[in-house]
Amino acid sequence: MANKRAVLALDRNLRNLELLAQFLAKQGYKVESISTLEEFDQILAEPETIGVALVDISGFDRSIWQYCEKLHELKIPFLVLSPKQSSAIRQESFARGAQSMLVKPLVVKELLAILRSMLRDPD
């Protein structure tokens, strides 16, 4: 992988976060795993280290959308992971700047294709 910036993975569920991080690491990605909004604040203080963010909104209150807006302002592409198919969540995700949205359980090939696309350096 040419891009050395990390994939930021945010998930309240520590086991899911661990599994996602292990999977992405096996695919050659550098992963920064966080499970709280406080950690999110710390990471966003150094945005140049992040290439893309995977934001699992499960377990967070509506304030998660402010963090999504911050990612968008910092020009960090992000993908929202949702526990259910919902047009309201889809609309909220895209309104806040998400590049894409996936519903859990994740389809591995789809996740990897989206990540590759989002991490592609502009020509």
pLDDT in tens, 88-114: 999 999 999 999 999 999 999 999 999
- Judge contact between 90 and 67, C-beta under 8 A: no
Name the nearest CA neighbour of 96 among 120, 122, 62: 62
Give the span between the Cα atoms of 18 and 26, in whole angstroms.
12
Q: What pLDDT is attached to residue 91?
A: 97
Can you give the pTM of this predicted structure?
0.92
Q: What pLDDT is attached to residue 99?
A: 96
Q: What pLDDT is attached to residue 123?
A: 41
Handedness of CA 30, 55, 10, 86 (dihedral sign): negative
Output the average pLDDT for the chain.
Answer: 93
The three-class DSSP label of residue 41 is helix
Strands 100-103 and 78-82: parallel
Checking if the pLDDT of 121 tops 80, the result is no
**Percentage, residues of the chain above pLDDT 90:** 91
* Confidence grade of residue 120 (pLDDT, cut at 50, 70, 90): confident
- Judge contact between 88 and 59, C-beta under 8 A: no
Q: What is the pLDDT of residues 23-49, one digit of tens each?
A: 999 999 999 999 999 999 999 999 999
Name the nearest CA neighbour of 78 among 88, 65, 87, 59: 65
